[in-house]
Amino acid sequence: MSKMNGKIRVLIVDDSAFMRSAISRMISSDPALQVIGTARDGVEAVDKTISLRPDVITLDVEMPRMNGLEALRLIMDKQPTPVVMISAYTTEGAVETLKALELGAVDFIPKNISEGSINILNIKEELISKIKQASGSNVKEPQRTEPLQSKYTSTEVEGKSVTTDLIVIGSSTGGPRALQKIIPLLPKNLPVPVVVAQHMPPKFTKVLAERLNELSVLQVKEAEDGELVIPGKVLIAPGGKHMIVTGNSKQNIKIKLVEEAAKAIYKPSVDMLLISASKIFPSTTLAVILTGMGHDGLQGVKRIKAGGGRSIVQDKDSCTIYGMPKAIVEAGLADRIVPLTEIAYEIINSV
């Protein structure tokens, strides 16, 4: 992606003059970023995306004339560009954000709205970081959101010797869309439980779980403290909390939610979940590492592999951000490196 004078060129889209000004000041404070334009609504956003060809767009959802979701759909059709959504930190905002991620947005920043004021300055560091990440992201066509049918029949899964006791999936940026390419393809009689750590804030993980549940034959839900981990169920770690598994037998594995933990940057932490799994099923845990920035999951996969377990990682070409999978590959810990469209089938073949 070409950047003028080495800077990441950003288009800001928001119907609020205050927000446009505040976001512009935050972005301009970083020497690696340059604001090349602003837009007040979706119509202007589409026009300026085509004329200015920005490297990254920050996009609000609620706007006059054309809202953010409609604008995003047109942008991805006419001039595919990395987009970071600015989303309300509410349940309704989470639903809209998930729709935006389905349409092709790379990431989002939740803004807190309290007593009529927006605590916009609190998001500065995160906003700058996510714009930089988005600038190097892999923008693809929107992934299908209608219910998917697994090409594997019940009889193909029945009778297989189970070599896996637990499937642990870890993901970050691009993860919600990636999970929609995997979870809905898993058959109802999958004999192994699935637990997921996706980097997302509170409220957003619950909406993600509900959306995946609509698309899947397996039950998908946000995990609760003390909940049993059983086949036929996919449990998503709640945003803002760490999730680990505890227990001493296949029939008595439970979820434990942890508020704080030293050394864990992300909450929920993929590493913490994987390490807890390695203690219960050292040789029969399957780690699946998907798209995302950073290396969360690396220490956990090291523990899984040391115990005799296995790992599947998403390949570079299908990742939105090739960070977490790259860390596993470079450490020589990946048993299988496959495109996103094949991960569900790899999982089925591994159980």
- 3-state SS, residue 244: strand
Structure confidence at residue 256 (pLDDT): 96
| Helices and strands (DSSP H and E) totals, the chain | 12, 16
Q: Render 192-206 in DSSP notation, one character per residue.
A: S-EEEEE---TTHHH
Alpha-carbon distance of 49 to 45, in angstroms, equals 6
Alpha-carbon distance of 272 to 348, in angstroms, equals 24
3-state helix, strand, coil in the chain (%, to 5): 40, 20, 40
Q: Is the predicted pLDDT of residue 149 greater than 50, yes or no? A: no
pLDDT digits (tens, 9 = 90+) for 61-96: 888 889 999 999 999 999 999 999 988 767 778 899
44 and 164 housed in the same domain: no
pLDDT band of 27, cuts 50, 70, 90: very high
Q: Which two tokens stand for residue 287?
A: 């780690």
- Per the listing, tokens 């010797």 go with 161
207 and 69 housed in the same domain: no
Structure confidence at residue 263 (pLDDT): 59
Contacts 24+ apart (CB under 8 A), 44-47: 44/13, 45/11, 45/13, 45/71, 45/75, 46/71, 46/74, 46/75, 46/78
Hey, which residues does 195 pair with through a beta bridge?
A: 168, 235
- Enumerate the active-site residues: 172, 199, 296
One-letter amino acid of 251? Q
| pLDDT winner (highest mean) among 42-51, 57-66, 153-162 | 42-51
Identify which has the larger pLDDT, 331 or 111: 331
User: Would you call 275 exposed, middle or buried from its count of C-beta atoms within 10 A (0-12, 13-18, 19+)?
Assistant: middle
183 and 92 housed in the same domain: no
Query: Which of 284, 327, 276 lies closest to 305 in space, CA to CA?
Result: 284
> What Cα–Cα distance (Å) separates residue 281 from each residue in 286, 312, 313?
9, 17, 19
* CA-only gyration radius of the chain, Å: 20
One-letter amino acid of 213? N
Identify which has the larger pLDDT, 111 or 28: 28
Identify which has the larger pLDDT, 143 or 71: 71
Global confidence as pTM: 0.88
Q: Which residues make Cβ contacts (< 8 Å) with residue 35, sequence separation at least 6? A: 10, 11, 12, 24, 27, 28
Alpha-carbon distance of 20 to 79, in angstroms, equals 22
The CATH number covering residue 114 comes to: 3.40.50.2300
Domain residue limits at 37: 4-135
pLDDT band of 155, cuts 50, 70, 90: very low
pLDDT digits (tens, 9 = 90+) for 317-340: 999 999 999 999 999 999 999 999
Q: Is the predicted pLDDT of residue 162 greater than 70, yes or no? A: no
Structure confidence at residue 147 (pLDDT): 37
180-190 mean pLDDT: 95
298 and 190 housed in the same domain: yes
176 and 52 housed in the same domain: no
Contact 167, 194 (CB under 8 A): yes
Q: Is the predicted pLDDT of residue 124 greater than 70, yes or no? A: yes
Q: How many domains does the chain have?
A: 2
11-38 mean pLDDT: 94
120 and 218 housed in the same domain: no
Contact 98, 87 (CB under 8 A): no
Q: How many CB atoms lie within 10 A of CB 242?
A: 23
Q: Is 146 within a domain? A: no
